[in-house]
Structure 1
């Protein structure tokens, strides 16, 4: 009678001579995944992919161009039709101010959404996991957004300026000089791009889209509106300061159409906005290092 023999214990198989993690130096194995040290260029590519693939970018920039071009051409048409009512001697470029003032709200909105929306959706956790260097993430978002806002604003404002000068060339307006062209295209584009970048940094500080947009729109409109209702003589100096340094008044400096007799002139508003943006960047970076995502 045969008896069943239990199976003999087998020796464990030898561990394979390779490492699962990429970049190992084990003999006989070469990782198919290239291992490189990450740098700012990778973060820039990531942020560019994100900003161009979301619908908010298309909508905000599309509405911005529609407002700037539409209001600019409409204003030039109205002025040209009523050229006999005192437009002689005025610069044709100054009529582009109205469209850019309203269109700047779109740039502000996009700037806030570039950072604050990631906190609302939780995408910021993925971003910080992929790139643990928080200053690199903030710098990449800032560079990509500023470049996009500047290029779009420069192209749109330049187109509107050429159309307005062409339409108003025979209506008594004066031909702009090279310096006036530079301020009405390059200068205002840098200013609006910095205003949008300031909104991006406020969005990073507040971490709430609606709240940050409300703060920025209030910062743009509230000083001017408050100043217009300050009729008391005792508040005259405060009223003048608000008029001089309100954002609409600073934007009008690029068209030599200031709302007050004193205050910033020429390229001064650009340096003021640059200082505010630098201070906001320092504050956003400090809070980003302290707070958890």
Structure 2
């Protein structure tokens, strides 16, 4: 006697087994669903995003309260620049999550299961990048938008920001920081070690400023200015209407520069994933 799961399909050779469950090739949508399940089910995501929200909202609100309570004149400082410090500190959380999205699987050995379920390494990296970028962008856009609205309502500034300035300080900032997190994901894929990749990315953010501070020689003035102008904090400040000099990146140039660097890093990560063993 055979069970329904042991019955042969009509016309099939004797002794063969045909599953009653429909079988179809895995798609990119399946990879996206898998990565979304993983990123929302681990505690590191909740902790890093929770701290990100606290930093962006908390520091942005504290800055607005401090300025409003002191009745100080902001002068030429843009009103929305009060949210800069919270986003700068929050970017460390985005960097950490970007690295952990892929490097933690190498640390736990989960990457072997992932590659067994989906042998296409390019598809896995692309799915991780899409899920992480969209998640971080949505969280950042909501937080920066809320902070901007609260600051505009609390602080009595001489000039209210225009629609273009508001767009850059919310959507532009969110795109920039999310792209920075995507660069962290690529570095995590290259290094395959969580602590090492996070250290590399913190160095990318802070090292240019630290090096520039110790370049006192007149012959190094041009190098010092370039380090200041193209450091991550200085490029982030451009979206708030601030800049360390008139010769540095302006407008949307910081996003284009970071996007080009991130694309190159992701290309390297794709090449390395396909050429080396787990």
Deviation at 1:105, TM superposition (A): 0.1
How many matched pairs? Answer: 271
TM-score, normalised to structure 2, is 0.94
Partner of 1:52 in structure 2?
40
Deviation at 1:92, TM superposition (A): 1.3
1:231 to 192, 199, 216: 216
Partner of 1:186 in structure 2?
171
Q: Distance in 2 between matches of 1:263 and 1:159?
A: 29
Deviation at 1:25, TM superposition (A): 7.0
Partner of 1:142 in structure 2?
129
TM-score, normalised to structure 1, is 0.89
Partner of 1:75 in structure 2?
63
Q: Distance in 2 between matches of 1:254 and 1:223?
A: 19
1:157 to 140, 144, 151: 144
User: Does structure 1 residue 213 correspond to structure 2 residue 203?
Assistant: no
Partner of 2:12 in structure 1?
26
Structure 2: runs of 5+ lacking an equivalent: 1-5
Q: Say whether the 8 Å CA contact 1:227–1:243 is kept in structure 2.
A: yes
Structure 1 residues 228, 36: CA separation in 2 closer, same or farther (over 3 Å shift)?
same
Q: Deviations over 1:124-163 (max 9, x none)?
A: 0000000000000000000000000000000001011111
Q: Distance in 1 between matches of 2:69 and 2:170?
A: 25
1:270 to 236, 239, 255: 255
Deviation at 1:262, TM superposition (A): 1.3
Structure 1 residues 91, 17: CA separation in 2 closer, same or farther (over 3 Å shift)?
closer
Deviation at 1:181, TM superposition (A): 0.6
Partner of 2:52 in structure 1?
64
Deviation at 1:34, TM superposition (A): 1.2
Deviation at 1:89, TM superposition (A): 4.7
Q: Deviations over 1:87-120 (max 9, x none)?
A: 1453211110010000000000000000000000
Partner of 2:27 in structure 1?
39
Root-mean-square deviation (Å): 1.7
Q: Distance in 2 between matches of 1:90 and 1:290?
A: 50
Choose 30-39 or 221-230, whichever is displaced more: 30-39
Q: Distance in 1 between matches of 2:133 and 2:11?
A: 42
2:105 to 82, 101, 118: 118
Q: Distance in 2 between matches of 1:143 and 1:17?
A: 42
Deviation at 1:228, TM superposition (A): 1.8
What's the secondary structure of 1:255's corresponding residue?
Answer: coil
Q: Deviations over 1:14-45 (max 9, x none)?
A: xx8738xxxx9727975221101111000000
